[in-house]
């Protein structure tokens, strides 16, 4: 009887593991395409304004930085995950394009991809990397954020 319970538990654990892995993969892909859609300005992706999203991104970056300074890996992981899955602004970037339109159109997807890629790596390494390595990754996120702003503000 006891043996049977152990077997059932093992099978259940294996199945939930597979289900979680599949869900994780799916989530990552969905996040990526939504991300690109928002940069290209393909219609409304959420009801949030660009400002609301930018303020939250900034807050998540502070969360990561505080986590690194206090060795709180949970904060690093959660902040990075929030950045990878940020919603796309209503109407994409199009309404915010005023000058440097051609530069922004060609560069924004690349820069946005840099932010996304570094945040995925940061979330992945949050539990194991040294605080200095996590800081390096965080710096690459911040630099990518800033290079996009440079294009809009110059
Ligand atoms: C695809 C381009 C792009 C990327 C990438 C980007 N931003 Fe922005 N951000 C903008 C635009 C456009 C604005 C609004 C125009 C402006 O402030 O110059 C903005 C504005 C901001 C503001 C100012 C909001 C205000 O109230 O004035 C903050 C803070 C901000 N972003 C944080 C971030 C952070 C943190 C990241 C990286 C995790 C990031 N942004 C990545 C395009 C981008």
From ligand 1's centre to the CA of 108, what distance in Å? 11
Atom of ligand 1 nearest to the CA of 152: 18
Tokens of 132: 């200095």
All structural domains of the chain: 28-153 (1.20.120)
Q: Torsion-angle region of residue 69: left (phi > 0), alpha (psi -120 to 50) or beta? A: alpha
Averaged confidence pLDDT in the chain: 79
pLDDT in tens, 69-125: 999 999 999 999 999 988 888 888 888 888 888 888 888 888 989 999 999 999 999
Say whether pLDDT at 44 is over 50.
no
> What is residue 22's predicted lDDT score, i.e. its pLDDT?
38
**Is the CB of residue 83 below 6 angstroms from any atom belonging to ligand 1?**
yes
For residues 138 and 64, the answer to whether their CB atoms sit within 8 Å is yes
| pTM reported for the whole predicted model | 0.78
> What is residue 32's predicted lDDT score, i.e. its pLDDT?
41
**Is the CB of residue 94 below 6 angstroms from any atom belonging to ligand 1?**
no
Atom 39 of ligand 1: nearest residue by CA position: 145
Give the 3-state DSSP-derived string for 4-45, with helices as H, strands as E and coil as C.
HHHHHHHHHHHHHHHHHHHHHHHHHHHHHHHHHHHHHCCCCC
Atom of ligand 1 nearest to the CA of 61: 35
**Is the CB of residue 48 below 6 angstroms from any atom belonging to ligand 1?**
no
**Is the CB of residue 61 below 6 angstroms from any atom belonging to ligand 1?**
yes
Atom 30 of ligand 1: nearest residue by CA position: 54
From ligand 1's centre to the CA of 19, what distance in Å? 36
**Is the CB of residue 145 below 6 angstroms from any atom belonging to ligand 1?**
yes
């Amino acid at each position: 009887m006891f043996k049977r319970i152990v077997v059932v538990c093992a099978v259940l654990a294996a199945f939930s593991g597979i289900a979680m892995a599949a869900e994780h993969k799916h989530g990552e892909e969905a996040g990526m395409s939504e991300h690109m859609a928002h940069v290209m300005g393909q219609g409304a992706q959420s009801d949030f304004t660009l400002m609301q999203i930018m303020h939250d991104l900034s807050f998540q970056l502070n969360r990561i930085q505080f986590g690194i300074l206090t060795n709180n890996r949970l904060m690093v992981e959660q902040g990075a995950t929030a950045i990878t899955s940020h919603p796309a602004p209503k109407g994409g970037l199009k309404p915010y394009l005023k000058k440097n339109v051609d530069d922004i159109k060609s560069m924004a997807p690349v820069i946005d991809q840099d932010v996304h890629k570094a945040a995925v790596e940061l979330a992945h390494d949050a539990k194991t990397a040294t605080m200095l390595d996590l800081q390096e990754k965080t710096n690459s996120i911040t630099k990518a954020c800033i290079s996009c702003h440079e294009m809009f503000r110059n």
